[in-house]
Chain A
Amino acid sequence: MAYFITRDCIGCTLCARICPTEAIRGEKKQRHCIDAALCIECGACGRICPRQAVRDPFGRMVKREKKKDWKKPVFNLDACMACGMCVDACPAGCLELGAPSGKDKNAYPVLADSEACLGCGFCVDECPVDAVVLAPPGT
């Protein structure tokens, strides 16, 4: 199962540049294509595509969103158990374990590189205790 680029593609290369697994190939101004073996279904290609030329594995068109509006992970540290699963799952490498504070010596996850975040929600899927949610920036 993988995302798919339709004929509406104008070869702007935005998708190829944002894909965290380098699964998208194509010449500039030519239709791009996704290597199904490498696609991890993060959906970033679809959200960034100006022509809405990307469909998800179920054939649904992926709606374009402005990158500044992409949702970002927010951590509930009361529920978080510092297991690191979200950090490991992040395909963009934008999560890190932060420095401990106060008496609690656990290192909890933080969004270290907000710009790199794809809003894919893998961290939310992975978290076993539902301590991560995606929220619009600034909330």
Chain B
Amino acid sequence: MKRRGYMGKILMVDLEDGSIREETLPDEVYRRCLGGMGLGAHILYHRIPAGADPLGPDNMLGFLPGLLTGTGSLFTGRWMVVGKSPLTGGWGDANCGGTFSPEIKRCGYDGIFLRGISPTPVYLYVDDHTRELRDASVLWGMDTVETEIHLKANAKAAGKRPKVICIGPAGEQVSLISGIATDQGRLAARSGLGAVMGAKRLKAVVLSGQKRITAHNRVEMKRLSRICAKWVRFQPPFIPGPMTALVGALMRIMPAVITQDGLLYKILLKKWGTVSMNQLSPEMGDAPIQNWKGSSRDWGFRKSYSSHPGVFSRRETVKFHCYACPLGCGGICAMEGKYRHTHKPEYETVLSLGGLCLNQDVDSIFYLNELLNRAGMDTISVGHAVAFALECYEAGIISREDTGGLALTWGNSAAMVTLVEQMVRREGFGGVLADGVRQAVYRIGKGSEAFAVLAGGQEPAMHDSRNDPGFALHYSVEPTPGRHTLGAHLYYEMFQLWKVVRGVPKMPPMYFKGSKYRNPRRQAAIGAANSRFMTLVNCSGACMFGAFLGARRFRLFDWLNAATGWDLTPNDYMELAGDIHTLKQAFNVKHGIEPRDFKIGDRALGRPPQTEGANKGRSVEIEAMMTHYWEQFGWNPETGKPDPRVVEKMGHAA
């Protein structure tokens, strides 16, 4: 057996006729596409016909581990789901941690791809001896936690210890904002790919493999991992939870900022997880408030205090580490009421169901977190849909009659809970919102589009693009728009790519905040480097939080060489990642997407600028940044479309 980090095979499943077959891929494909997202882009670009209905039989769904998953590297346990997104109509992907990713490789595959629509609900079962579609009619209607428990219990009776991914009722009902769950509440939530799985009547994928995952040089892999582990272990005592708000306030007041070292963020993540930002972010202007029309003044210290990080750590009973993660930003929290425990809500969830709706009731956030995890629904999109409805109600566009008697006023947590429960069941006014903001605008009309904050049909994340123009850029130019995990100015500071990659912009030790809003060419160069690097991270199955440690501590390029036996430079890898990024953009163009249409809404760009708060007077000149960004990849600077000849040259001619 070659020791090279990847398994060399993919599994192709046709849900229409029930056929399952293996395909062996040549090494050349891995050299060009790496794994994870890159391999997914390669397969989907070629095999989904132009104009395919995202919810139809021609769309494909792929589940992929990273190239580095299971090779002895750290932070590389994330799996990727890819497909044509029903939310954006273009390239869709979502990414999730947990323990599922290595199991794909242990079954012997670098990816599992499915096409077609099953006539009846099924789930895919794969182990070392068996590959089959099994009847899932008993599971249809169960939530994600019940489904996973049921499937694992069945497999345990047969002597197996499988890993499971599944959809909940939201995916079954083809909600366009549904995701795919694993480990009883971790979601690959974005791009609406749960709806694709539901439309295919695929309830779950159950894997139980025993194959060993190889690496070219395991000794070197371990050496690099020990370097990384040393920095993760560094954990000085830190301030109490509510004090993080003061750090945020200080960052808001200062006209200049010190270029951030990700080690500081790592300390926060290790202590509290992403909820460490619950007060810090709104104070510094990073969190959108009140459906993006509010500011840090509307969500001040007293209002955000109910969700300070200490509230979550007090309820946390055990930390949750994804596979190969030495950090453990996740956790399991105890709660009272209908559900006894839940995965610790993430920052995105807390702010989208909290500050975005001016909801101070943290108990309702815990409840909604578990409810949505079980339903398999994206909390970011749900928060946006609720905030959008609240603003429509306050503006008189919808009335109490329209909402079925719900008083959708800002911060009314009881009404919010009822509304989200309706969304999960597609009942009453919840049915209007169950497919996200864009569909809600179509259904409500009456000028409600003025309150919709969207990028290419997808709700953006809880990071204010007026505070960091890098977010505005990535929300608008990525083949998967509206995503916060693909780049930002702040991320670039923490990645510290200039220390290992030649020719990328170098950050000064300190800079004035205003400089981020000027020089679009430089901002675009930063954005392009971010996109390339995050593409590489997503091909490797790596976690962005690991990458935040900085390129000299999180040795991604060296790990890739040690795992595969290749001898590529960081610049070679960045170039490969650029090609994969181009392929995703070409996928969008093939499916009729006009890249300019992905530009995020004016409110998120500071048009008009806010008159108070942390982002007062800020607006982002996005058009110039988009043009320069497209130039960085050699795409048409006016349209954002790659030249078909470039794609052909890469060996990806359709």
Chain A contact residues, CB within 8 Å of chain B: 1, 20-22, 38, 40-41, 81-85, 88, 91, 93, 99-100, 105-107, 122, 125-126, 128-130
8 tightest Cβ-Cβ pairs between the two chains A and B: A128-B225, A81-B326, A21-B210, A105-B319, A93-B161, A83-B326, A106-B319, A40-B212
Q: Which residue of B lies closest to A23 (CB)?
A: B128
Residues of chain A within 8 A of B318, CB atoms compared:
99-100, 105-107
- Option from B128, B229, B321, B331 in Cβ contact (under 8 Å) with A128: B229
A122 to B331, CA, bound (A): 27
A83/B331 in contact, CB under 8 A: no
Residues of chain A within 8 A of B233, CB atoms compared:
81
**Known: A38-B128, A83-B326, A128-B72. Contact between A106 and B229, CB under 8 A?**
no
Residues of chain A within 8 A of B226, CB atoms compared:
128-130
Q: Smallest Cβ distance from B237 to chain A, in angstroms?
A: 13
A129/B225 in contact, CB under 8 A: yes
Q: Which residue of A lies closest to B212 (CB)?
A: A40
Q: Which residue of A lies closest to B129 (CB)?
A: A22
**Listed residue (A1, A88, A100) with the most chain B CB atoms within 10 angstroms of its CB:** A88
Q: Smallest Cβ distance from A127 to chain B, in angstroms?
A: 8
B210/A20 in contact, CB under 8 A: yes
14 contacts between A and B (CB under 8 A): A21-B210, A38-B128, A81-B232, A81-B233, A82-B326, A83-B324, A83-B325, A84-B324, A88-B323, A105-B317, A106-B328, A128-B221, A128-B226, A128-B324
Q: Number of A-B pairs whose CB atoms are under 8 Å?
A: 77
Q: Mark B593-618, 1 if CB is under 8 A from A, else 0.
A: 00000000000000000000000000
A95 to B519, CA, bound (A): 55
- Option from A22, A38, A41, A85 in Cβ contact (under 8 Å) with B324: A85
Residues of chain B within 8 A of A99, CB atoms compared:
318
Mostly helix, strand, loop or mixed at chain B's interface? loop
Q: Mark B455-478, 1 if CB is under 8 A from A, else 0.
A: 000000000000000000000000
- Option from B74, B218, B321, B323 in Cβ contact (under 8 Å) with A106: B321
User: In the complex, given contacts A22-B128, A81-B229, what are 8 additional A-B residue pairs having Cβ atoms less than 8 angstroms apart?
Assistant: A22-B129, A82-B321, A83-B323, A83-B325, A84-B99, A84-B323, A88-B70, A122-B212
A82/B328 in contact, CB under 8 A: yes
The answer to whether B239 has its CB under 8 Å from any CB of chain A is no
Q: Smallest Cβ distance from A121 to chain B, in angstroms?
A: 12
A38 to B225, CA, bound (A): 29
A40/B210 in contact, CB under 8 A: yes
Residues of chain B within 8 A of A40, CB atoms compared:
210-212
The answer to whether B222 has its CB under 8 Å from any CB of chain A is yes
A85 to B128, CA, bound (A): 20
**Listed residue (A21, A22, A41, A83) with the most chain B CB atoms within 10 angstroms of its CB:** A83
Q: Smallest Cβ distance from B470 to chain A, in angstroms?
A: 30
Residues of chain B within 8 A of A125, CB atoms compared:
218
Residues of chain B within 8 A of A128, CB atoms compared:
72-74, 221-222, 225-226, 229, 324, 326
Q: Mark B402-443, 1 if CB is under 8 A from A, else 0.
A: 000000000000000000000000000000000000000000
The answer to whether B1 has its CB under 8 Å from any CB of chain A is yes
B210/A91 in contact, CB under 8 A: yes
Residues of chain B within 8 A of A21, CB atoms compared:
128, 210
A82 to B329, CA, bound (A): 12
Residues of chain A within 8 A of B212, CB atoms compared:
40-41, 122
Residues of chain A within 8 A of B328, CB atoms compared:
82, 106
A1/B331 in contact, CB under 8 A: no
The answer to whether B102 has its CB under 8 Å from any CB of chain A is yes
The answer to whether B316 has its CB under 8 Å from any CB of chain A is yes
Q: Smallest Cβ distance from B203 to chain A, in angstroms?
A: 24
Residues of chain B within 8 A of A81, CB atoms compared:
229, 232-233, 326
Q: Smallest Cβ distance from B23 to chain A, in angstroms?
A: 16
A84 to B98, CA, bound (A): 10
Q: Smallest Cβ distance from B487 to chain A, in angstroms?
A: 26
Residues of chain B within 8 A of A107, CB atoms compared:
318-319, 321
Q: Smallest Cβ distance from A28 to chain B, in angstroms?
A: 21
A21 to B210, CA, bound (A): 6
Q: Which residue of A lies closest to B161 (CB)?
A: A93
A134 to B128, CA, bound (A): 27
Residues of chain A within 8 A of B325, CB atoms compared:
83-84
Q: Which residue of A lies closest to B316 (CB)?
A: A105
A105 to B210, CA, bound (A): 29
B319/A126 in contact, CB under 8 A: no
Residues of chain A within 8 A of B99, CB atoms compared:
84, 88
Q: Which residue of A lies closest to B72 (CB)?
A: A128
Q: Which residue of A lies closest to B320 (CB)?
A: A107
A83 to B331, CA, bound (A): 13
A107 to B321, CA, bound (A): 9
Q: Smallest Cβ distance from A82 to chain B, in angstroms?
A: 5
Q: Mark B37-61, 1 if CB is under 8 A from A, else 0.
A: 0000000000000000000000000
A125 to B232, CA, bound (A): 21
CB under 8 Å from chain A, chain B span 2-18: none
A84/B225 in contact, CB under 8 A: no
Q: Smallest Cβ distance from A90 to chain B, in angstroms?
A: 9
Residues of chain A within 8 A of B316, CB atoms compared:
105
A83 to B70, CA, bound (A): 12
Q: Smallest Cβ distance from B312 to chain A, in angstroms?
A: 12
CB under 8 Å from chain A, chain B span 131-145: none
Q: Which residue of A lies closest to B106 (CB)?
A: A88
**Listed residue (A38, A40, A41, A81) with the most chain B CB atoms within 10 angstroms of its CB:** A81
B1/A85 in contact, CB under 8 A: no
A106 to B332, CA, bound (A): 11
A93 to B208, CA, bound (A): 11
Residues of chain A within 8 A of B70, CB atoms compared:
88
Residues of chain B within 8 A of A83, CB atoms compared:
74, 321, 323-326
A88 to B71, CA, bound (A): 12
Q: Mark B220-249, 1 if CB is under 8 A from A, else 0.
A: 011001100100110000000000000000
**Listed residue (A1, A38, A128) with the most chain B CB atoms within 10 angstroms of its CB:** A128
